Structures are given as structure tokens and as C-alpha cells.
Amino acid sequence: MNLTIENILLIGSLLLLLSIIAGKTSYKFGVPTLLLFLAIGILAGSEGIGGIHFDNPETAQFIGIISLNFILFSGGLDTNWTSVKPILKEGLVLSTLGVLLTAVSLGTFVWFITDFTIYESLLLGSIVSSTDAAAVFSILRSKSLALKSNLRPSLELESGSNDPMAYVLTIAFLSLVTNQDQSLFSIIPLFFKQMILGGIAGFIFGKLSKLIINKIKLDYEGLYPALLIALMFITFSATDFLGGNGFLAIYICAVYLGNQDLIHKKTIFKMYDGLAWLMQIVLFLTLGLLVFPSQVFPHMGIGLLISLFLILVARPIGVLISLIFFKMQLRRRLYISWVGLRGAVPIVFATYPLLAGIEKANIIFNIVFFISVTSIIIQGTTLSVVAKWLHVDLPEEVKPLSETEKIILNLPKSALQEIEILPGFYAIDRRIIDLNFPKSAFVTMIKRNDKYIRPGGSTEIRANDILMVLADKQEDFIEVKNCLQNSNNTLNS
């Protein structure tokens, strides 16, 4: 069946519905949701019962990049800076040196056991060198896996920030395959340019995005998430245009925004949480449609050998050497090594050799696909079991909530106080978002002229308003009162 304008919406919506229903019951049988999305795409494809012919790597790559934007941005929004800060150095080392060591060790192994050239082998190693953000975010959160010692922030930080490194290595070694006269050292300037510009652009666009979101006055709350989507794509495309790494830029931008006071932050988080799931489904369905199982089967033997080497040797080498200078229990290092999930990102990166038209592009794509599937099956289904074996899991009753869960659930605080806005207060005629309240305190209701107003970040305070404030502790109320009374407390907002 060929996709047409007339039937694409019907077929797409049916596949989406089927994926959601399948995902609802998947974990009862211990099957990762993402694997079912991929399987549905394969079954709907040209060699499956659906018979949909889809053989367009360029379109698949475009859909993949769009989807990864949403997935990485959502993961960044959900990253708590307080939790990440203590493990920032180890996360950055894992996402750079760890990825490089994994790519080189796996590439060397591929070179020894295949007829690939050294650059083709390193290209394959680079494509599968990073942990997949979609797989890690999805499986950790859907399993509600609680881990000790900042393990979860470490894993999510690594998976969210190491795709840029894998992307740079993929592009670099692809250029070496297509231009044999190029020197290996020529990729070093490309690496620094991509990473430095990507990091700087991400932070700058993050600050600009916060300013735009909080200063612009839109008539409808639903327009704010749409505004952030526009800012997200501007961040990615502008950074890429300047020669930086767009994936790194949007992740840093999202981490910054997720830890700031934003107007309608709850609405934004709700929407991005849903969009991230939608994009994961779309991405895996698309990649499933792109795959021809008959072309994968001939490479299953070599693919399994490479996959096992990646899981049991290359990934542990990358993790253990990268973390050698950090004080960390061996069981924690081993668990980080095991959560080296490969998913959709390597398959998306594997479309680059296809579009470049290199000789072994189809073989690389099919091997990468098989590696991703085996990784999700072997590692994705055993995360909880391995966590228990290594004693790095937490009891369910002490499981910490993610940032998205905290914001969306809008959990009650430990105390409530009413604060009257007297004439002369600094807060008069100023928006709540601009008052720099402590993060653990917020205004739940405003009583004004015997009427009750449900406030948002853009709500302006008036004289004689009575604010109902929820907070965790007494010190927070003191700080809130200072913010309302004095201008000095808002200088850093």
C-alpha cells in the first residue's frame, strides 16, 4: 500500500491508536513500550501485514530530527538542576569521553571481525556510541524505577547530553569515509566548534526564551506552549546554521528553562510530557516502516556478536575508564554501564550513510537496527532486575518525584498563610512571575474586593489584595514577605 494524501491521516491515526493501546498493556508482559511501537511499524510496513511501502531515508531522517527535538527538550525540562549539579562533571565526562571510548573500542572490534575499512568500522561504532534519550527517559519513567545515589539524574543527564557527541563523531567519520584523503585530525576542529557553539547557543537561547515567555502578554494560555515550540526550533536551527550542535543547544536551553520561573509553567510541562510520548511513538513507527526485515535477517549473526560486544565490553570500557577519577561504588558504575540503552537515535543516525550513498550503508543500517532492538530487549527488560541484583534500587515508598510530576500534580505544601498587600509594598502593580518567590512557595488564590482570583504567573498584584500562599517551611513565608515588600529581593529574578 502506498501512502497518499487521502489515506495518510486514517492510516497514521489507526497506527497511533494501536500503539497507545499496545503500550498500555506492554509492561504486564515485561515488554518495553518502545519495542512494541517499533514492531507495529514493521508489521504495517511493506513486508508486514499492512503492506505500506515506505523506503525514504530522507523523510525518516527529517521525522527523526523533529521527534528528537521534542524528546530532548522534554527531558531537559524535567531535569532538576539541584539533583544534576552534584553529578554534573561525571555526566559530562560520560557524555563525551565515554561516548568516544565506546565508539573507538566497538569500531576496532568491528574492523577485526568484518571486511569494513577502519573508518567504516569507526562510523558504525560512532552511530551506536550514545545511550538513547528516548529509550532511557521512556523506560525509566514508565517503570517508575527508583534508584539510589543520584543514579537516575546521572543516567538521564548522560542520555540527554551524549547524543551531540555521537552526532559529531558520526558526521566526522562519515566525512572520512566519503573523503579518503582527509586527515583523521581534521575532525578535531569540527568537534570543538560543534560542542562549544552548541553549549553557548543553548544557554543564550534559554535566557532569551525565558525573557520572551515572561514578558510577552498573550491573550490565551494555550498559546504559551506553542510559543515555546517555536523557540525550541529556532534554537535548534539557528545553532545548526551557525555551525554548532543543535541537539546540545536545545537540551541546555530546556534544562535552563525547566529550572526557572515561567508563566503557565504547569501548562507547558503537561503539553511537553504528552508531546514527548507522541514523538516517541511517531519516531519508532516511522523507523519500523523504514526497515525491511528480509534485509536484516542475513546480518543477524554479525549483528548479535557486535551487540553483545557493545553491551558487555565496549560500553563498560567507556564507563569504567571515564569514571576512574570519580569516587563511586563499583555497583553504581556497573549499573550505569548496563543502562546503555540503544534505541531510535542510532537508527536515525544510520540514515546519514544511506543519504550519503556510501557502499556499505545498507549493511550498516541493518546492523544498527538489530543492535538497537537487541539492546532494548536485553537491557530494557532487565533494568529493574539488575538494579535489585546490584542493590541500587530504592523501595517504592521512598521514590522521589520528577520535576514534571511535581509541577503537574501541584502537590500541597506543608503550610498555608494569608498575606495582605499593604499600600507601599513593592509588589503592587507587578506580576507574580517577576517577584522571585522561593521555588517551594506559590500563590494559590488572591482575594480582591471580596472576589477570589485564581492567579497565574502574569497576574498583577494590587494594593489590599490578600494572597493565599502555600510553602514548605516558615523561612519560605519570610522570604515571600520580603519579596512582596522590598525591591532588593527581586534583583536576581
Q: Helices H, strands E: what count in the chain?
A: 24, 4
- Those residues with Cβ within 8 angstroms of residue 451's Cβ, 6 or more apart along the chain or in another chain: none
Counting every residue written for the chain, the total comes to: 493
Q: What percent of the chain has pLDDT over 70?
A: 87
- The mean pLDDT value of the chain amounts to 83
Q: pLDDT per residue over 77-131, tens digit each?
A: 888 777 778 888 888 899 889 999 999 999 999 999 999 999 999 999 999 998 8
Q: pLDDT per residue over 393-415, tens digit each?
A: 765 444 455 555 555 445 444 56
Report residue 137's pLDDT band, with 50, 70 and 90 as the boundaries.
low
- Those residues with Cβ within 8 angstroms of residue 468's Cβ, 6 or more apart along the chain or in another chain: 416, 417, 418, 443, 444, 445, 446, 447
Q: Is the pLDDT of residue 202 over 90?
A: yes
Give the distance, in angstroms, between the CA of residue 220 and the centroid of all CA atoms in the same chain.
Answer: 28
Give the chain's domains with CATH numbers.
8-403 (1.20.1530.20), 412-490 (3.30.70.1450)
Give the distance, in angstroms, between the CA of residue 95 and the centroid of all CA atoms in the same chain.
Answer: 13
Helix (H, G, I), strand (E, B) or coil at 467: strand
Report residue 233's pLDDT band, with 50, 70 and 90 as the boundaries.
very high
Report residue 456's pLDDT band, with 50, 70 and 90 as the boundaries.
confident
Among 418, 326, 361, 371, CA closest to 102: 371
DSSP E strands in 308-386: the ranges are none
